[in-house]
Structure 1
Amino acid sequence: MKEILDLIRKEITDAFVACGYDEKYGRVSLSNRSDLCEYQCNGAMAAAKEYKKAPIAIATEVSEKLQDNPMFESVIACPPGFLNLILAPGYVTDYVNAMAEDDRKGVDKVAEPKTVIVDYGGPNVAKPLHVGHLRSAVIGESVKRIGKFMGDNMIGDVHLGDWGLQMGLIITELRLRQPDLCYFDPDYTGEYPSEPPFTISELEEIYPTASAKSKEDAAYKEEAMTATFELQQGNRGYQALLKHILDVSVSDLKKNYENLNVSFELWKGESDAQPYIPDMVEKMKKDGYAYVSDGALVVDVKEDTDTKEIPPCMILKSDGASLYDTTDLATLIWRMEDYHPASVIYLADKRQELHFVQVFRCARKTGIVPDTTELKFIGFGTMNGKDGKPFKTREGGVMRLETLVSEINEKMYEKIMDNKTMEEDEARKTAQIVALSAIKYGDLSNQASKDYIFDIDRFTSFEGNTGPYILYTIVRMKSILHKYEESGKKVADAKILTAASESEKSLMLELAKFNSAMRGAYEENAPHRICAYIYDLANAFNHFYHETKIMTEEDEKKQAGYIRLLELTKEVLEICIDLLGFSAPERM
């Protein structure tokens, strides 16, 4: 379906042209004075200079041309030259009825679907997920779902950190504790054990211990760096240990991501890029892009138009070890070879912007990606506590993500039990659903690039711009629909009737903005656009609900029309929250 704004714009543009004015002046926007009109056109103000006429004269001409147009209830020219537009209730009703009959509720898929890889994980293996991983996972999952809904082939990659110094640290500490393991015997030629020599709990203790030692003991750190280098050079025992680390870590990571309703199509890591590095390095040297600077291999990526210094992209350190730059470039090679994506989107802290500028420029300069492939960095802001500083535990440490989820689950459980409407088991399950909406909506309702305050009390509130408020609105609709069905009535063939009140028309107008909201969220990779839309839609419904006696309406046709409108609103809201990555319970 065409967006309602485009349909309005066409009528206004045709009227400008019919009056002898250029079509460019027929632009229409939502009214910034909803007390005066629903849509507005300011084209007459801009046309006045070109046509040497008073803007009010132009606006009056155009308004007169539209007086008999069935789309509008009124088109009024207002000084100094605005066109104030109010849609005819019947026209809006026809539009939302067409939405109700469409499986996608009026949202067309993109005309030319493309393959998009979204890199939105980035956790390091052998370490638990913490709150710093939340934004990447939540925003990336929603961006992926929005793209898939619009018809693109979306591929999410977790892109594990499994190849840097942390691997050398784990190997070094493990060798210190269990030196007799066969992985450390250079003469061992047999098969390595299938069972790992550690549990996830032990692994999560080994890494921070090793990291702390390396900061105090230079010899220990040197040993870890050597282990890292040997791993990267193909040490057989270390490669087997890496496989164990990955198996144990990934199993735990999957469980934690599932609790967030986040999934990945690919569970690749930096280690998967290693086979591509030698040939990549040689090609960069051969083509004259890479050169040695202070012992390191680098590629210049600065451009004449730069207003600030952009350092060279470092390909190899002086000891021959690879870096994030190296693995990100090599990862792009296999992504291009295996998937030929039209776009690759990266989610990371906005403070990493320089890294991505260097990698993107190097990838283009050296021919790793063609000019036709979009490389996009979505840099997100910091999740802060009420003190405005990065979110911490009460003791001041970095909070584990599962701890945060558990705390919010518990808070929602207490609220639900206070209502005394559910048994404990149902309350626990419902609390998990509602808590997830609080976490995700609390994050996604903010523009990704901005820092925000993670306020548990506000995010878990059933009032205001929160996930639980959206879910409560949906649950209210489900309750009404259940009551309607229990009364023996069916709404299958019912039509939405022409609005009989301002609140009913306002709800229809909000519904009519659905495809526009989806297009904006898709084109801008902006889940916050969906949050803003559903908050307005939920408010419009609740206003309509409080003003309308739905279940006590005696006119059955009128009541069925109300129910059909309610059903459409619920379906649109459910599509939207699924794209945000959460769902609604049956009751709250």
Structure 2
Amino acid sequence: MKTIIEHIGEVVSKAFEECGYDASYAKITISNRPDLCEYQCNGAMAAAKAYKKAPFMIADEVVEKLSGSSMFEKIESVKPGFININISAGYLADFVNSMSEKEKFGYEPEVTNKTVIVDYGGANAAKPLHVGHLRSAVIGESVKRIQKYAGNNVIGDVHLGDWGLQMGLIIEELRDRKPELPYFDENYTGEYPAEPPFTISELEEIYPTASAKSKDDEAFLARAHEATLKLQSGDKACTAIWHHIMNVSKADLKKNYDNLNVHFDLWKGESDAQPYIPDMIQSMIDSGLAYESQGATVVDIQEDTDTKELPPCIIRKSDGAALYATSDLATLVEREKMYHPDSYIYLADKRQELHFTQVFRVAKKAGIVKPDADMTFLGFGTMNGNDGKPFKTRSGGVMRLENLIADIQDAVYGKITENRTMDQAEARDTARIVGLAALKYGDLSNQASKDYVFDVERFTSFEGNTGPYILYTIVRIKSILAKYAAEGGKTDNLKLLPPVSASEKNLELALVKYLDVMEAAYMDKAPHKICQYIYEISNVFNGFYHDTKILAEQDKERKESYISLISLTKDILLSCIDLLGIECPERM
């Protein structure tokens, strides 16, 4: 479905052509002066140079050609050459009615059905999720949902950190704690136990203890390196412990991601890429792409168009060990073999930009992906405390994500029980939903690349640009519709009448932006644009609500028109928050 701007543009383009000017000058935009008009065309200003004519004369001609069109309530030429446009109430109502009848409200991206891999999450096995994992999870989940909504086949991969020294450290710490386990008996020949030798709580305590010990105990560190090498060489005992680590970790990680309403299609990790590494490196060496430098194997990535020097990508250290870049490249080998994706989207801290520049360029140079492969790195900023520094606990430590979620839900619970009558069970469930909305909206409403301050009081407010405010608006609409239904009002096959008040028209003008907003959010991979939109919708709806006696309206057709309008408003808001990974309670 064409956007309303495209429809206006077609009509104005024809007028430009009929007046003897190129149609390309008839670009229509939303007015940057809504006090003067709703849409505008500034093409006469540019056309003036090409046609050596005063811009107001060109604008006057075009406006004269368009006078009398039923599409416009007002179209006027304003010196020095602007064309100001107000859409007619009847045309606007017809367009909104058309949106309400179509799937996805008429949103139809031009290019769809691509296979897209979204790499987000990035959790580490044997470690709890902490606040540093929040942004990747919630931005990645939203980007994935937007891609799916646009009609693509999207594969979300958590890409776990599950390989390397951390595993050796855990194995050796477990040996020190429980030397009697069969994994540490060199003469043991039976089957290893099916049950893990630790709980998730014990596992999460084992790793930091082992990590701290390795900094002071060189012998222990050496043992950990040896255990890591044995694991990576396929040692049966180390592999059995590793499987226990992964099973226990994944179960806990899935639970925590589920609590965030974040879900992955694949639970792959760095370990899955390991079998591809030897052949991949050898192929780069054989082709002359990779070479030895100070004992390491590297690939140059510098290009003539670069404005600054970029270091070579190390794909194998001097001791033969692989690096993150090696693992990421091998993961691409696996993904190309298994999924044949058309596009890749990676979510990570923006400070990893160089790493992904290196990986993408090596992948293309080595022929792992096509030279023109669509590979995007979405780097996000830092979540900071009120002091402007990365968010910490009061004691200065890194906060567990589940504790952060609990804190914000408690804050919402306090506000719900303070002002509303609701039983405890419902209040807790509502606080869970609204608290998660506060957390996710507080993050997603910021442009991903920007740092932002995490402020519990502001994020949980029921006023202003917050998740609770958006949800409260939806719940308000649900309440009106429920009362209307209880009074016997029909809700099927309702049609909008042309708006009669400024606030009614403003709401319809906001709704018709949906198609443009969805396309921008999809093309730019930008959830914050959806947040901006639903905040605008919420504001103009509440303006309409305060100006209009919806249920008290005596004219039956007008009342049904109001119900149709707010029903569509609710549906669009619900569609948008779903793309953000946010749910809505029945009441607040």
TM-score under structure 1 length normalisation:
0.99
The residue number in structure 1 matching 2:216 is 216
What does residue range 378-457 of structure 1 map to in structure 2 within 5 Å?
378-457=378-457
Gaps of 5+ in 1: none
Which residue identity does 2:479 align to in structure 1?
Answer: S
Decide which moves more: 328-337 or 280-289: 280-289
- Could you say what secondary structure the match of 1:105 adopts? helix
> 1:162–1:271: 8 Å Cα contact kept in structure 2?
yes
Q: Deviation per CA, 1:350-379, whole angstroms, max 9, x where unpaired?
A: 000011011111111111111242111000
- Could you say what secondary structure the match of 2:403 adopts? helix
- Name the CA shift for 1:270/1:460 in 2 (closer, same or farther; >3 Å): same
Distance in structure 2 (CA, Å) of the matches to 1:587 and 1:308 = 55
- Could you say what secondary structure the match of 1:95 adopts? helix
> 2:364–2:373: 8 Å Cα contact kept in structure 1?
no
Q: Size of the alignment, in residue pairs? A: 588
Matched, 1:100 2:100: yes
The residue number in structure 2 matching 1:245 is 245
- Could you say what secondary structure the match of 2:84 adopts? strand
Moved over 6 A (4+): none
> 1:496–1:561: 8 Å Cα contact kept in structure 2?
yes
Q: CA deviation at 1:181?
A: 2.4
> 1:121–1:137: 8 Å Cα contact kept in structure 2?
yes
Distance in structure 1 (CA, Å) of the matches to 2:216 and 2:310 = 33
The residue number in structure 1 matching 2:567 is 567
The residue number in structure 2 matching 1:191 is 191
Q: Deviation per CA, 1:274-326, whole angstroms, max 9, x where unpaired?
A: 11111112211111122222222211112222222211111122221111111
The residue number in structure 1 matching 2:548 is 548
What does residue range 91-240 of structure 1 map to in structure 2 within 5 Å?
91-240=91-240
- Could you say what secondary structure the match of 1:104 adopts? helix
Which residue identity does 2:298 align to in structure 1?
Answer: V
Q: CA deviation at 1:171?
A: 1.2
Q: CA deviation at 1:218?
A: 2.6
- Could you say what secondary structure the match of 1:541 adopts? helix
Q: CA deviation at 1:491?
A: 2.0
The residue number in structure 2 matching 1:343 is 343
> 2:463–2:469: 8 Å Cα contact kept in structure 1?
yes
Which residue identity does 2:282 align to in structure 1?
Answer: E
> 1:116–1:152: 8 Å Cα contact kept in structure 2?
yes
- Name the CA shift for 1:296/1:182 in 2 (closer, same or farther; >3 Å): farther
What does residue range 2-81 of structure 1 map to in structure 2 within 5 Å?
2-81=2-81
Distance in structure 2 (CA, Å) of the matches to 1:311 and 1:8 = 51
> 1:341–1:373: 8 Å Cα contact kept in structure 2?
no
Distance in structure 2 (CA, Å) of the matches to 1:222 and 1:55 = 78
What does residue range 426-505 of structure 1 map to in structure 2 within 5 Å?
426-505=426-505
Q: Deviation per CA, 1:57-109, whole angstroms, max 9, x where unpaired?
A: 00100110110221111111001100001100100000000111113112124
> 2:438–2:460: 8 Å Cα contact kept in structure 1?
yes
> 1:118–1:157: 8 Å Cα contact kept in structure 2?
yes
> 1:229–1:321: 8 Å Cα contact kept in structure 2?
no
Q: Deviation per CA, 1:357-414, whole angstroms, max 9, x where unpaired?
A: 1111111111111124211100000000111110011111100000000001111111
Q: CA deviation at 1:177?
A: 1.8
Distance in structure 2 (CA, Å) of the matches to 1:110 and 1:413 = 44
Q: Deviation per CA, 1:136-157, whole angstroms, max 9, x where unpaired?
A: 0000000000110110001100
Which residue identity does 1:570 align to in structure 2?
Answer: K
What does residue range 304-319 of structure 1 map to in structure 2 within 5 Å?
304-319=304-319
Cα RMSD (Å): 1.1
Which residue identity does 1:119 align to in structure 2?
Answer: D
Q: CA deviation at 1:532?
A: 0.4
- Name the CA shift for 1:185/1:318 in 2 (closer, same or farther; >3 Å): farther
- Could you say what secondary structure the match of 2:104 adopts? coil
TM-score under structure 2 length normalisation:
0.99
Q: CA deviation at 1:497?
A: 0.8
Q: CA deviation at 1:186?
A: 4.0
What does residue range 573-588 of structure 1 map to in structure 2 within 5 Å?
573-588=573-588
Q: CA deviation at 1:2?
A: 0.7
Distance in structure 1 (CA, Å) of the matches to 2:157 and 2:470 = 30
> 2:13–2:26: 8 Å Cα contact kept in structure 1?
yes
Which residue identity does 1:302 align to in structure 2?
Answer: Q
Distance in structure 2 (CA, Å) of the matches to 1:125 and 1:494 = 53
Which residue identity does 1:536 align to in structure 2?
Answer: E
Q: CA deviation at 1:190?
A: 2.8
Q: CA deviation at 1:111?
A: 4.0
The residue number in structure 2 matching 1:279 is 279
Gaps of 5+ in 2: none
Distance in structure 2 (CA, Å) of the matches to 1:309 and 1:199 = 48
Which residue identity does 1:559 align to in structure 2?
Answer: K
Distance in structure 2 (CA, Å) of the matches to 1:306 and 1:492 = 60
Q: CA deviation at 1:188?
A: 3.6
The residue number in structure 2 matching 1:538 is 538
Identity %, equivalent residues: 63
